[in-house]
Amino acid sequence: MALALAAALVLGPTPVLRPLAAYFAGATRALAGGRPAAAVGWLEAALRLDPHLVQLHPVIAAAALSADDPHDALDHLEMADRLLPGDPARTCLRGMALQDAGDPAAALGAWEAEPEACLQRADILLRAARSALSLDDAERYRGFLQSLAALLPADAGVQLDLGTAVAAADPAAGLPILRQARRLAQRRDPLADDLIQTILEAQVQGPPAFVLARVGQTLARHGRWQPAAWALQRAVELEPGYVEAQAYLGLALDRSGGNGQSWLQAAVVAAPNAALPRTFLGYHWQERGRLDLALEAFLLAARLEPGNPAIAAELGGLYEAQGDLVSAKAAYRTAASLAPQDASFWTLLAEFSLRNEIEVEALGLPAARNAAALASDQAAALEALGYAYYLVGDFRMAERFLVRALEIDPLRPETQLRFGLVRQAQGDLPGARAALLLATRLDPHGPVGETAARLLRAFDRGT
C-alpha cells in the first residue's frame, strides 16, 4: 500500500501536491499503526481533492478490507474496474471482499476466474476452502485443501484439515494424511489420534458403511460437523437402513446449519425402541425453540434409557426453561445420582440451585462441593462453589474459590461477574468495578456482559 501511495503521488502531479502529501502521510502513518479505517479516510480525502488519482481506488479497497468494511472495498473495486485496465490482483481482492460480505459463492467465482493469480496464494486457498465448506461443497473443499497442502507441506493444521476431508469420503485414503499431520504437529492432536484409531479399529470390525459411520461420529464428537455429515451421508448411501448413521446424520446436518429432521424422524420410525434417535430429535426441537416437542422426545428417550444421566440433565434444562422448577430439580438430581463421579452433573445441579436461589445451603452448596472435589482443576466447578459461598454470606470462602477459578481461566466472563459481586460485598468498589468491566468486555453482547454493564450503571448512579 505504501508503494502505491508513493506512486500515486509521483504519477499524479497536481497543483495541490502539498495537501495531497499531507493526506498520503496520514494514510501511511495510519497503516503503519494498524489503523486501516483511518487510512481509508485519509485516502478518500485525497481522492476528493484530486479525482484524477483513480489508481487509489484499489489501494483504498485493500485498506477498507483490512478495516472489516467489505462493502466499501467492493465500491472502490467497482470504480477501479470502470476507470483502470483489468488486473487479476484486483479480482483476487474482490473475491476476498465478497467472502467477507457474506457471498461465498461469488467469492469462489471470482477466484476461479483468475486461478493462476488467486489460487496459487495460500491465504486465498484457505479462504476458498472455508467458502466451499460453508457451501457444503465437499469436492471443492478437498481440492482447495490439496492445493494448500502442496504449498504448505509442513503445516500440521492444513494436513489435518485435508486428512479429515479425505477420510470423510475414503477413510483408508485419509489415514496417511492424518498420520502426516500427527508427525508434523508439535504436540499430539486429539482429533488426529481419534480418527486414526477409529479408522483402524472400524476397518477390522465392519464393512465400508460401518467405517464411514464411525468416522462421522468421531468427527461429530470433535465438532467437525460438516465433514461428519459428508461421511454419514455416504454411510447411509451404502447402507440405507443404517439407523445409527441416520440419527447421527440428522444431528450433523442440524449442527452444520442444515435441517436433519427428516433423517431423525426416519431413524425414530426405523428404531422406535432406541433412545439415541429420540435424543437427537429432542436436540433438534430444542434448538428450534419447540420446547414442547423437545420435552416429549427426551421423556421418551428417558423411558427407553433410564440410566442415561445426559438425558436426565437435558430434561432438567427443559423443565427449568418452562418454569417447572420442581421437576427440574428432580431431573438434575437424577442426573447427578446416575453419574456420581462426573463433576459436570454436580455442577449442573449446583448451578440450577444458585441460578434460581433454591435451597442454596441444602442443595447448591453441597452439589458444588462435590463438583469441586471431583474436578479441582476445572474453573466452572470452583466458580460454582465460590458463588454458593457468596450466596450464603461467606465472602472469604467465596473469594478463595473464585480466585482459584480465575487462576485457571481468567477470561471466563461468568467468573469475573461473580468475582465483582464478591468484591462489592467486601466493600472493594474499585476491585468490583474492574472485574465487572472485564466481564462486559469478555461478553459484550451476551447476557453476562449485559448483567455486568447493568451493575456498573448502578455503581455510577450510586456514586
* % of the chain beyond a pLDDT of 90: 86
DSSP 170: -
Mean per-residue pLDDT over the chain, rounded: 93
| Longest CA pairwise span in the chain (Å) | 84
Instruction: Tell how far CA 388 is from the center of its chain.
Output: 30
84: left (phi over 0), alpha (psi -120 to 50) or beta: beta
Give 10's pLDDT tier (boundaries 50, 70, 90): very low
**pLDDT digits 0-9 by tens, 353-405:** 999 999 999 999 999 999 999 999 999 999 999 999 999 999 999 999 999 99
Identify the weakest region by mean pLDDT among 22-26, 208-212, 230-234.
22-26
**pLDDT digits 0-9 by tens, 110-128:** 999 999 999 999 999 999 9
> Which fold would CATH assign to domain 1-96?
1.25.40
By residue count, the chain amounts to 463
Is residue 463's pLDDT more than 70? no
For the chain, which residues make up each domain, given as ranges? Answer: 1-96
Cell of 50: 484530486
Instruction: Tell how far CA 82 is from the center of its chain.
Output: 39
Cβ neighbours of residue 365 under 8 Å, at least 6 residues apart?
Answer: 350, 385, 388, 389, 392
> pLDDT value at position 5?
54
Give 459's pLDDT tier (boundaries 50, 70, 90): confident
**pLDDT digits 0-9 by tens, 40-62:** 998 999 888 888 889 899 999 99
Give 428's pLDDT tier (boundaries 50, 70, 90): very high
58 in Cβ contact with 43 (< 8 Å): no
Is residue 13's pLDDT more than 80? no
Cell of 206: 465392519
> pLDDT value at position 21?
81
pTM, two decimals, is 0.85
CA distance 390 to 352: 15
> pLDDT value at position 206?
86
> pLDDT value at position 337?
97
